[in-house]
Amino acid sequence: MKKEILAKLPYGKSFLFVDELLHVDENGVTGTYTYTENLPFYEGHFKDRPVTPAVILTETMAQIGLVCLGIYLLKDIDQNVSVAMTSNAIDFLKPVYPGEQVTVTSEKVYFRFNKLSCKVKMENAAGEMVCKGSISGMLISKGNE
């Protein structure tokens, strides 16, 4: 099922922030991503000491923690699912540098009326918390547009 979820992600290679899903079930998901040194945003953020932008960290948590889980939760209902983020509240605790791998863990808070809300956290390879918070979104099947 993990490979099927990855195949259904609606992102192109330049905006895909999921390398691998380690675990997925109806209550949550865990996945990884490595920020390679050649990603284009590092050139300007910041030019003398590149750091992964907070918006990219948030997007990574949303792709793994919300979109992958949403695809899993709707696997028996619809094959074409989109997710629109509706809210997030993230605390950023440590920087993420080029070349670092992160692990995102998401725990479902609720899923009702096609709205999914999750508690998410991101840890670096040393197991240190990078950021944490909550992300919510609406799951939209292509047939409901």
Peptide bond before residue 46 is cis, with ω within 30 degrees of 0: yes
Which residue in 2, 9, 34, 45 is the catalytic one? Answer: 45
d(C-alpha 145, C-alpha 142), whole Å: 6
d(C-alpha 11, C-alpha 116), whole Å: 19
Active site residue 45: yes
CB 139 within 8 Å of CB 114: yes
- Residues tagged active-site: 45
